[in-house]
Amino acid sequence: MISKKDIIKLFKLTASLMEIHGENEFKTRVYSNASFNLEKYEGELNKLSREELANIEGLGKSMVENITQILETGTFEKLEELRKVTPGGLLDIAGIKGLGAKKVRMLWKELGIDTLEGLRKACEGNIISGLKGFGQKTQDNIIKEVNYILANKYKLLYEEAEIFADQIQEILEEKLPDVLISQAGELRRKLEIVDELTFVIGTDRIVEVYDKLSEIDSFEHTYTESGPFNWRGNLLENGAKVHFILCSKEQFYNKVLLHTGSEKHLALATHEQSNLFSIISESPLKDEATAYEKLSMQYVIPELREGWFEIEQARKNELPKLIEFEDLKGTLHNHSTYSDGKNTLREMAEKCIEMGYEYLGISDHSKSAFYANGLQEFHVKKQHEEIDQLNKELAPFKIFKGIESDILNDGSLDYESDILESFDFIVASIHSNLNMDITKATNRLLTAIQNPYTTILGHSTGRLLLRREGYPIDHKTIIDACTENDVIIEINANPWRLDLDWRWVNYALEKGITLSINPDAHELEGLRDMYYGVQVGRKGGLTKEKTFNCLGVKEVEEYFKKRKEQKLNGK
């Protein structure tokens, strides 16, 4: 379903492209004004007639026609005309922070730069800093961001990797029905970013299977990087790297074990003079569990095989029973149409009920997040009134009144105390002024954590995987402060965030922290992202008992109430 926000994005893109092409300023402003007026309009557009659309303030006849086309086809004529005459790389360049449409046009028209690679070369040649309106600092920021984007060009988020891996598995099972197949590497360990899609194939016809892989239309073979037992190439759909490791069926589990665990895990998993490397080289294994038995260790599931805390726990037979997706009883940190979400409060609540959850925590953006239509005080009051009404209708299901309060530059929370006090819980997050050093970022978070109204620390580093690095923080100091101040830390389950990083989950657990798996959902389907948060939690050793939203609705309600009373009374 195309939402109002989708239409606004398309109009803003059109205005940017028109500016890049130097089109008439007045005509360009028509699209900018339409975006502005649609942002002020509180309803959705997909159910309105042409006449009703025409009655929206600031929309002329041409904009109504464009909206109608978008609702019918997903795009409109003017935008498609612009896309046809715009080099694809310009849109990549326009996505770089600090480069507006005018600067992108200058790079394109004055220097002929229309790709990220071309932009990097110009920065390396110190050409950009001499352009009017740029300077050395801008050039340094550009090259840093371009290098980050290019370094991650063909890497995949785990969400994407899992989808493509399932497709590859289906292809292999169809084309090669008599072989053994297993995922391996980063993919099987469920890392947040996957460099290549790795599979082990067991067959007694290695040459024949190797040749058949090269004949599959979905793959492009890279001969120069391949060998007799290693087929390497790319997935044609997106350029992602693919690696097939071929071996005999007898050696299948040996190779799966070897190519799943990190080198650190394989080396540290030891008993007397043996480790997993030596076990793998000794004789064929009937399964992976046999190798761990030979080392007198508890079996380690694939996603834990990183060489971290799992080794010592497996030696002591103390690996915990990890959280399962089915253990979740509710969801916190979600957005609605009150701020930048696509769905209404009722729609989000009804979707949660459909998914079997007992509660929904709504945490729309606070007023400082103007770019996300953050809630002014009167909107907070209006939302709370709607929540009270819905809670009467939907009981025993409950909507908790939350807010994602911006952590301001000095570490204070958005809103005055009387407004903050009106919420059941508060997710405190940083969204602005992200260019901080470790001292500034850590101190800013510490101030927010010490605020008595902060219930949950949201996406603690602000990272967007494959898009931008997070600001640096002293994780230990932050986690210790959350322990001291009884603040829950979220695992933001949005596949672009997955923040708290799994590498810090076990330390948080050691310090007694409770974690909350929060989807940061901005639409109905986003609620399902909690699945990826569960994967992050499991990699860090998270259990059901230490996951806040594995509590039932009554327990959560009591926790919020009791904590609020204690904090506000200075206890």
- Averaged pLDDT for residues 532-536: 97
pLDDT of residue 567: 80
pLDDT over 80 at 1, yes or no: no
Q: How far apart are CA 72 and CA 212, in angstroms?
A: 43
**CA distances to 160, 172, 212, 440, 496 from 165, in Å:** 8, 10, 18, 40, 18
- Averaged pLDDT for residues 458-480: 95
Q: How far apart are CA 154 and CA 157, in angstroms?
A: 10
pLDDT over 80 at 571, yes or no: no
**DSSP secondary structure code for residue 457 in this structure:** E
Q: What is the largest CA-CA distance in the chain?
A: 80
Q: How many helices (H) and strands (E) does the chain have?
A: 25, 16
Closest CA to 88 of 164, 5, 20: 20
**CA distances to 139, 329, 374, 487 from 425, in Å:** 42, 17, 17, 11
SS (H, E, C) 47-62: CCCHHHHHCCCCCCHH
- Averaged pLDDT for residues 474-495: 98
Please check whether residue 194 is in contact with residue 155, taking contact to mean a CB–CB distance below 8 angstroms. yes
Q: How far apart are CA 376 and CA 297, in angstroms?
A: 56
What does the pLDDT look like over 19-35, one tens digit per residue? Answer: 999 999 999 999 999 98
Q: Which token pair is 325? A: 């997706």
Q: How far apart are CA 333 and CA 498, in angstroms?
A: 14
pLDDT over 70 for what percent of the chain?
Answer: 99
**CA distances to 313, 403, 547 from 541, in Å:** 10, 29, 11
pLDDT over 90 for what percent of the chain?
Answer: 81
Q: How far apart are CA 71 and CA 484, in angstroms?
A: 51
Q: Which token pair is 464? A: 């967007």
pLDDT over 90 at 237, yes or no: no
Q: How far apart are CA 224 and CA 233, in angstroms?
A: 10
The model's pTM: 0.86
Supply angle C-alpha 271, 273, 278, rounded to 5: 90
Mean pLDDT score of the chain: 94
What does the pLDDT look like over 292-327, one tens digit per residue? Answer: 999 999 999 999 999 999 999 999 999 999 999 999
The dihedrals phi and psi of 149, each to the nearest 5 degrees, come to -65, -45
pLDDT of residue 94: 86
**DSSP secondary structure code for residue 176 in this structure:** -
Q: Which token pair is 345? A: 């409060």
Count the Cβ atoms, other than its own, within 10 Å of residue 421: 13
pLDDT over 70 at 563, yes or no: yes
Q: Is 73 exposed, middle or buried (0-12, 13-18, 19+ CB in 10 A)?
A: exposed
**CA distances to 39, 75, 189, 317, 369 from 340, in Å:** 10, 21, 34, 47, 10
Banded model confidence at residue 273, pLDDT cuts 50, 70, 90: confident
Closest CA to 118 of 97, 93, 101: 93
Closest CA to 349 of 406, 404, 392, 405: 392
The SS3 call for residue 194 is strand
Respond yes or no on whether the N-terminal peptide bond of residue 396 is cis (omega within 30° of 0).
yes
Higher pLDDT, 44 or 499: 499
Please check whether residue 233 is in contact with residue 219, taking contact to mean a CB–CB distance below 8 angstroms. yes
Please check whether residue 451 is in contact with residue 410, taking contact to mean a CB–CB distance below 8 angstroms. no
Q: How far apart are CA 115 and CA 365, in angstroms?
A: 35
pLDDT of residue 495: 97
Supply angle C-alpha 192, 197, 202, rounded to 5: 130
Place of tokens 């989808």: 163
Q: Taking phi first (over 0 means left), then psi (-120 to 50 degrees means alpha), and beta for anything else, what does residue 353 get?
A: alpha
Q: Domains of the chain (ranges plus CATH)?
A: 4-151 (1.10.150.110), 153-249 (3.30.460.10), 261-319 (no CATH), 325-568 (3.20.20.140)
- Identity of residue 288: E
pLDDT of residue 327: 98
pLDDT over 90 at 154, yes or no: no
Q: 136-151 and 116-124 helices cross at what angle (nearest 10)?
A: 140
**CA distances to 39, 60, 320, 545 from 166, in Å:** 39, 47, 28, 31
Q: Which token pair is 78? A: 């003017």
- Identity of residue 141: N
Q: Taking phi first (over 0 means left), then psi (-120 to 50 degrees means alpha), and beta for anything else, what does residue 415 get?
A: left
What does the pLDDT look like over 326-368, one tens digit per residue? Answer: 999 999 999 999 998 989 999 999 999 999 999 999 999 999 9
pLDDT over 80 at 42, yes or no: no
- Identity of residue 490: E
Quick one: the chain helix, strand, coil %, rounded to 5? 50, 15, 35
How far from each other are the two terminal CA atoms of the chain, in whole angstroms? 48
Banded model confidence at residue 4, pLDDT cuts 50, 70, 90: confident
